[in-house]
Structure formats: structure tokens, C-alpha cells
Structure 1
Amino acid sequence: MLIKTNAIVLSKLKYKDNDLIVKCYTKQKGVVSYIIRGALKTQKGSTKAVYFQPLSQLSFDSNYKENRSLQSISEVKLNYLYQTLHTNILKSAIAMFLSEVLSTILQEEEHNGALYSYLEHSFNYLDHETEFSNFHLLFLLNLTKYLGFYPDTQNMDQSYFNLSNGLFESKKQDFYSISGENLIILKQLLGINFDAIHGVKLNSKQRQSFLNMLLLYFELHLGDFRKPKSLQILNQVFN
């Protein structure tokens, strides 16, 4: 079945000498892996490997066949040309980190137009924005809306937030009940969009602590989720 689709690159892996295996989140089919023949060849006419950087937004034709683990593509082109996402060292660190997170949590071949639109809008915003040090925090928090475990915003005046059940509570229940600075930051971020993130002022220590809390939240609600290897690089560039 020939389909035309938009796609966001989640990961790539060199295969043999000149090929790539690229995992994408597509608008039509959800997560799909593709074999890109000759992507690493330098001669004219080969598919450009630069297209397949983390979070690149592509448009291509695919000869899609059900139950095939690796699909093929043709007529690939950039659907959106980033201006800074892959050239700014801080933004590229965020892109590497988020692409690894998404590659881990998005596994199923399932269409989700709302999630695709969220990813598309978010990365376009990051590309244009000049103040973005807290972008990944709000991105991950709002991503939980599409994964089914966004915090319950009822009773936000309570003194604790329980990571294991996603509820605000009056008493500390267990190890996963948080309070203090991370609770304050969580309440600041809940319910806002990217345009309001400039009002949340954090230093690097606060940012790292809150990110570690968010990743623990993901681990508790997604059984096979593990901290990304690129987390260390992200923390280094934002230190």
C-alpha cells in the first residue's frame, strides 16, 4: 500500500556500509521503522543522511506492507527546515535527549493525530525560541497527557504530590510523595503552555532535580522506561 506521510525522526542506526535503519513517529501509522538504502553514500543522487537527524520533520512516500518490520521509503524531503535546532549546541542536546525519550516510550504502530500535532508544534516552538532552558521540563510534563498519566489537578492546594498515583494529597504517604521545591515547580508548570514558561525561573540545580523527579514519574507509570543515556550530556551543557 503506497502512502504519503509526515514523520518525525526518533532514532537512526547504521546498517551495513551505506544503509540506515530509521525509527520514525509518523502521522498516519504511528511508530514505523524504515530501511534507508544508500543513505551514507556520498555520490549524487543518494538519500541525504542529514535528513535523519534527531527530531527532523520529513515527508515521504512509503510502500507500506503490514507485518513487515522494516518499511521502505521514496521521495523523502524535509517537511520543516529547522533554523537552530540542530546548530545550537544547547538545543541539539535537548533534541538528542527528547528523541531518546520518545524512541523509548513510543513503541506501537498506532495513529494518534493529537500527539503528532503536539510534537510538531513543540519542536517548531523550540526551533524559534531564544529562551528555552526549561522547555524540556514542560514538554515532558505535557507529554503525559497523551500517555495517560497527566497529574490530577484537583486538590492542588495540598502539601504533597504522589508520583505513584498522580494525585495531590494532604499527607506524605510513602517514598514517592514529594514536597518542597519540586512540588512548587510542578504547580507552576501545570496548566501552562510554552508561551508562559518564561515566568518559571529555575537555576541548574533546581532544573536537574525536577527533571530527575519527572523521569521517576515516567518510570513509575511506564514499566519499561529507563533514564536516557543522553541525560548526562544534557545536564552538562545546562550546568
Structure 2
Amino acid sequence: MDIKSRAIVLSKLKFKDYDLIVKCYTKHRGAVSYLIKGGLKNSKTAKAKAVYFQPLSQLQIEEAYKVSRDLQYLKEVRPEYIYKSLHTNIYKGSIVLFLSELLTSVLQEEEKNEALYDYLESAFQYLDDVEAYSNFHLLFLLRLTQFLGFYPESSSESYTHFNLMTGQFESQPSGIYSISGKNLTLLKDLLGMDFEALQTIKITAQERQDFLNMLLYYFELHLGSFRKPKSLKILNEVFH
């Protein structure tokens, strides 16, 4: 069965001598892996094809779907949206590397979620356009938890602590999972914020790293298989 859809590239992996396995998040069926035959051959056609599969690229695809296959095949692929800076700006590139690795880990389900797809698509287009983006990944991850099922419960946002395990604000600290101080203040500032308002957030590089580490720990607590992306070190070095 041939299916046309939109897709966002999450990762690619060399397979055998010249082939690629590309994992995408698709609008029609969630996470899907494709076998790209000859994607690494030293020819103009192959090189042109491989360019399509850079991390977080947005594509228009036509797949030849068979329910019995673990790896699907693409009949046609072309750019859906061409980034202006995401793959050429070294600072944005570090965010792309980090987020693509994280999304590869957390988006495992072959299940349709158009709202999540639309969020990813619009967020990456915003990152491509904007000039102030050093805190983009913080808000991106926080808003991603809405789709993963553990967005902070904000009805008691005035409380003085936040419990990472329960995802709730508390009036008193309740153990090792309670946070307060600058991380709590920044969490409250980001809740309900849209990307356009990010420029109002003023924090140091160390505060940014501390909050990111807290967010990643939050992911670990709620997603059993989650591990910190290896590219975190590169991201921290670039934005230090």
C-alpha cells in the first residue's frame, strides 16, 4: 500500500556497505524506520538523496507500506520545508544534534499523533527563523512533556517546591525529588510560555545547564528507558 505523508528525520544509521536506516517521526503513523538502499554510494544521485536525511529535516514522503515489514521503503522523498540556518549555524546545529538524539530515544511508538507532529514541525521552523535561541531547548523539552504524559500539574503553582517524581507543586519539601530556588523560578516562568516570549528569560550559562540537567532527570524519572543524550556535552560546551 502506497501512503503519502510528511515526516521529520530523527536519526540515520549506516547499514551494510551503502545503505541507510533512517528513523522518522511521521504525521500518519508516528515513529517509522526506513531502509534507504544505496544511500551511501559515491554517486551524485545517492549524495543528493542522503542530504534529505539530515537530523530534523522535514520531508514529503511516499512509502510502500507493508504491515509485515520492520523496515519500510520509500518510493519518493522531497523536502517539505527547507531550513535556512538549522544545518549551517554551529550553535543551532548543537541544539539539532541534541534534540534529534533525545527524540530518537523518546519517540518509539508507531502510533499516529498529529498534534505532536504539528508541534515538532512548527517548533523547528521557529528555531530556524529566530535569532535569539539559547533557551529554546529548555522550553521545547518542557512543552514536549505535554505529549509524553508528564507535564507539570500547575493548579498549585504558587507553592514553594516542585516534586519531580509526582509532577506536582508542593507547599513543603517532601524528599530528594523536591526542587526549589532558581530551578523552581525558571520552571514557573516557562510554564504556559510560548517560544516568542523566550527572549524575556535572562539566565546565566550555568543556570541554563542546571535547569537542563533537572529537566533530563525529570525525563528519566518518568520514562524508564530514557538516558541522557551523549551530545549533551557538546551542547553545554557550545552554550557555555
Q: Larger deviation: 138-147 or 47-56? A: 47-56
Identical counterparts, % of pairs:
60
Q: Give the RMSD, CA atoms, in angstroms.
A: 0.8
Distance 1:92 1:74 in 2: 29
Corresponding residue for residue 70 of structure 2: 69
Distance 2:187 2:22 in 1: 34
**TM-score, normalising length: structure 2:** 0.98
Distance 2:124 2:75 in 1: 24
| Post-superposition CA distance 1:43-63 (Å, at most 9, x none) | 243352111111000111100
* Residue 110 (str. 1) matches residue 111 (str. 2): yes
Corresponding residue for residue 198 of structure 2: 197
Query: Shift of the alpha carbon at 1:195?
Result: 0.6
Alignment of 1:127-166 (within 5 A): 127-166=128-167
Distance 2:102 2:37 in 1: 26
- 1:172 partner amino acid: P
Distance 2:171 2:126 in 1: 37
Aligned to 1:183, the other structure's residue is in SS state helix
Query: Shift of the alpha carbon at 1:15?
Result: 1.0
- 1:8 partner amino acid: I
- 2:95 partner amino acid: I
Distance 2:214 2:177 in 1: 9
Distance 1:67 1:165 in 2: 39
Distance 2:29 2:124 in 1: 20
- In structure 1, the gaps of 5 or more residues are none
Aligned to 2:76, the other structure's residue is in SS state strand
* Residue 28 (str. 1) matches residue 5 (str. 2): no
Aligned to 2:60, the other structure's residue is in SS state strand
Corresponding residue for residue 231 of structure 1: 232
| Post-superposition CA distance 1:62-121 (Å, at most 9, x none) | 001113110000221011000000000010110010011110001010000000000000
Query: Shift of the alpha carbon at 1:11?
Result: 0.6
Q: Larger deviation: 42-51 or 216-225? A: 42-51
Distance 1:60 1:44 in 2: 20
| Post-superposition CA distance 1:111-143 (Å, at most 9, x none) | 000000000000000000000000000000000
Query: Shift of the alpha carbon at 1:9?
Result: 0.4
Aligned length: 239
Aligned to 2:145, the other structure's residue is in SS state helix
* Residue 172 (str. 1) matches residue 173 (str. 2): yes
Deviant stretches of 4+, over 4 Å:
none
Distance 2:230 2:19 in 1: 24
Aligned to 1:85, the other structure's residue is in SS state coil
